[in-house]
A and B are shown apart, each in its own frame.
Chain A
Amino acid sequence: MNNQQFATKIDQIATLAKLSLSPKEKKDIVKQLPEIITFVEQINQARTKSTQPLFSVTGKKNVFREDKIEPSIPVKEALTNARSVYKNYFKVDAILEEK
């Protein structure tokens, strides 16, 4: 990818990640991301044809517990850090527009 392609790609990624980048931040990342990617591509030197990926380092798989109700944080407390509250709910911006 050339720099222009990287810049376009970074715009797409920033949208996906819900980040708004200032022109300075974008300039820095357009420079740094290719450097980081080139660096991490060293992993291509590893031979992994017959290697299974490792996701769980201690080999744990599913862990189950009994399905019963336990004490939890009271609603009032759970809402104490919310930006905006309506009755016992977090208030969020509308995501669907009316026609």
Chain B
Amino acid sequence: MTNLNQLTLKKATEGIKNKTFSSFDLVSQTRKRIDEIDSKLNCFLALNDKAIIEAKEADSLLDKDKNNINKPLLGVPFAVKDVLSTRGIKTTASSQILNDYVPVFDATVVKKLKNAGAIILGKTNCDAFAFGASTENSGFGVTKNPWDLTRVPGGSSGGSAAAVSADECIFSLGTDTGGSIRQPSSFCSVTGLKPTYGACSRWGLLAMASSFDCPGPIAKSAEDCEILFNIIAGPDGKDATASSFSSTKTVKNRLTLGIPKEYFTSDIDEEVKISVSKAVKLLEKNGFLVKEVSLPNTFLAIPAYYILVPSEISSNMARYDGIRFGKERSNFEDEVKRRIITGTFTLSSGYFDQYYLKASKVRKLFQDDFARVFEKVDLLITPVTPTPPFKIGENSADPVKMYLADILTSGANLAGIPGLALPCGFTKSNLPIGLQILGPHFSENLLFFVGKAFQELTDWHLKKPNI
């Protein structure tokens, strides 16, 4: 029999609603799983000590009113990336500068899930302030990849992705500024959505780069991500960039999938290319049209990103003054200091036009490239990452090499478009490979449509790590 903690969100909510099992059973088994294996993985930085009580409350609520339709996620436990504020639960952003910070309010996306009845299990490790692609920049130690404990889980939302992969929760929240939901989802063989910029409010998200940051779900299937996205999306009156979400795209009979040739160059690992190409062929065989397209500025994504993002970071990090909350600035981790210095440099007098302004123009080129391509095709299919998960320590001495881990994902953040990462295979040495679906602004429904179709045809997303 499947252990309850292994269930998808869909199955977990059905089971609780039909009283096949209780929220108490589900939360207890999930907590047991954390107690058993998290010392090997280091996904969790803090646990919600009230989770069991909240599960009992959910069960008694259900006893009172079986058709409690206002709480679609009633009694389901989830994990929250530690850059999202949680009322009464320590929120460190995985940085020593906030090692004693307990927020007095919830991030909007957290609050929406709590209002829907979901129960916080705990907070997950990430790169400090989400600056990184491996969790190696965390001030609280690296998270291990459940598929191979000598490798990174990706990042920055590495703890959130690894926790879903290892069935330490039913789903989790991550944030994506340059690939931080999609890249760890791919490395851990789970499904993750980076929503359109502004689809989900950033209120309560400890800001990294405000014109890039997107909170989003990491789950066990595209169907689960869709359920979660529909709950967390929408404006809240607290984030001026949050949009009233209305999907403008209709699912046509035959969707056309574009294959950007710049995402399949010789820099991309051969096994990754083979798995993604097989996935494309499968979709083609099942009614999707496939067309090669070109995004000529792809090679400029990371250079432009590493001007714009550190610039915004250097400004956002000014709030950590050690006065209202948190410790002194000397507690920042190395990568945090590195990015503040880089960003202060690119914004400093005499360099603004050369770096920030020029990169903002390149950002426009990116958006134009995507807009042009989306006139010809409905969606794009690409690999998520250039390589399978790398070894702990392999890239950590060379910041530029580490930055390249986001080469296939950061374009979506520059243009503000949504992206869905989902499992599409394994290397010969059993390391996960991921597929990325990109679409125009507010086309999440199309991403889910193709994602669900792919997961009906394949069972990659059902494979579990042996841990």
What is the interface of chain A, defined by CB distance below 8 A to chain B?
A: 9-10, 12-14, 16-21, 25, 28-29, 32-33, 35-37, 39-46, 48, 51-58, 60, 63, 65, 73, 77-78, 80-84, 90, 92
A81-B102 contact given A33-B345, A58-B416, CB 8 Å threshold: yes
- Establish whether residues A17 and B303, one from each chain, have CB atoms under 8 Å apart when the complex forms: no
| Chain A contacts for B322, CB-based, 8 A | 83
Distance A29 CA – B340 CA, assembled complex (angstroms): 11
A-B contact count (CB 8 A): 148
Assess the B324–A40 pair: CB atoms within 8 A: no
Q: Are A58 and B441 in contact, with the CB atoms below 8 A?
A: yes
Taken together as a complex, chains A and B put the C-alpha atoms of A63 and B236 apart, in Å, by 12
Q: Is the CB of B332 within 8 A of A46?
A: no
Instruction: For the complex, count residues of B whose C-beta is within 8 A of A.
Output: 61
Taking CB atoms and an 8 Å cut-off, the chain B residues in 273-328 that contact chain A are 297, 299-300, 302-304, 306-307, 314, 317-318, 321-326
Indicate whether B182 reaches chain A with its CB closer than 8 angstroms: no
With A20-B330, A63-B240 known to touch, is A46 a contact of B361 (CB < 8 Å)?
yes
Q: Is the CB of A36 within 8 A of B337?
A: no
Cross-interface CB contact of B361 among A10, A19, A51, A56, cutoff 8 Å: A51
A19-B329, A48-B361 given; A57·B341 CB < 8 A: no
Which single residue of chain B is at the shortest CB-CB distance from A40? B303
B344 touches A13 (CB 8 A): yes
* Residues from chain B with Cβ under 8 Å of A18 in the complex: 318, 321, 329
Interface contact A43-B243, CB-CB below 8 Å: no
B residues touching A (Cβ–Cβ < 8 Å)? 100-102, 104-105, 196-198, 211, 237, 240-241, 243, 297, 299-300, 302-304, 306-307, 314, 317-318, 321-326, 329-330, 332, 334, 337-338, 340-342, 344-346, 348, 355, 357-365, 367, 399-400, 403, 414-416, 441
Across-interface contacts of A43 in B (CB, < 8 A): 300, 303-304, 307, 358-359, 362
- With a cutoff of 8 Å between Cβ atoms, the chain A residues found around residue B243 in the complex are 58, 60
**CB atoms of B337 and A29 under 8 A apart:** yes
- Whether A19 lies near B337 (C-beta < 8 A) is yes
Say whether A60 contacts B198, CB under 8 Å.
yes
State in angstroms the CA–CA spacing of A55 and B334 once bound together: 28
- Output the least CB separation between A10 and chain B (Å): 7
* Distance in Å: Cβ of A5 to nearest Cβ of chain B: 12
The residue of chain A having its C-beta at the shortest distance from the C-beta of B358 within the complex is: A43
CB closest chain-A residue, reference B322: A83
| Max chain B Cβ within 10 angstroms of own Cβ: one of A12, A16, A44, A45 | A16
